[in-house]
A = this chain, B = another copy of it.
Amino acid sequence: MTTTIAGYAFDDDLPTSPVSTADLDLLLSTLLWSDDDAAALARAGAVLAPQVEAILDLWYGYVGSHSHLVASFHGPDGQPSAHYLSAVRARFGQWITDLCARPWDQRWLDHQHEIARRHTDTKGRTDGVDSPQRFVPLRYLVAFVWPITATIRPFLAAGGDDADTVDAMHTAWFKAVTLTVALWSQPYDPDRW
């Protein structure tokens, strides 16, 4: 698939991630990832896809209302950059659907690593923004597991599934978000990752 989202073409030739599929398997084992989780996450993807803009509205409202979080989106003038916020938003939306729908193979790992680098050593480069904050602080990357997990539940419930299915989708989403943050934490300490 070729997309028009800057920095988000899965067909690009990306560098191979230092994270291997063997590393991924151990992380999935740590998360007790199961075939049921995989099925529930696929269903979650179908439920969430038509709601992506509403989810992003909620998440951007949350980030925008916390100055220490929106600081990651500042431009060189020390003010939030509308261009940067908008470019990241497009990728964030694609991340939601990709997380649920893409096979978790080496190409996906390569892509996760590209995102991880975009939070650290290449931050701002894709969007041509020389942000004074040169990295997304690790503490907030970790903390985001909570809001990104907790706020998704009403959107999962909006798909009309029974309560057990909503629970299963929410569990799979929680695991998938935790996995994502684990993968994105790699560039912060490659030697002890």
Contacts and interface: CB of A to CB of B under 8 A. Distances in A.
A189 interface: yes
**For this complex, into which size category does the number of interface residues on chain A fall?**
35 or more
Contacts of A147: 30-32
Contacts of A171: 150
A82 interface: no
A189 B188 contact: yes
Interface of A: 23, 26-27, 29-32, 66, 68-69, 120, 135, 137-140, 142-147, 149-150, 171, 174-175, 178-179, 181-183, 185-186, 188-189, 192-193
22 contacts: A23-B139, A30-B68, A30-B69, A30-B144, A31-B146, A137-B192, A137-B193, A138-B182, A138-B185, A138-B193, A139-B182, A139-B183, A139-B185, A139-B193, A142-B178, A142-B182, A143-B179, A150-B171, A150-B174, A188-B188, A188-B192, A189-B189
Given A30-B143, A139-B183, 14 more contacts: A27-B140, A29-B66, A29-B68, A31-B147, A120-B192, A135-B192, A137-B193, A138-B192, A139-B193, A140-B182, A142-B142, A149-B174, A150-B174, A188-B188
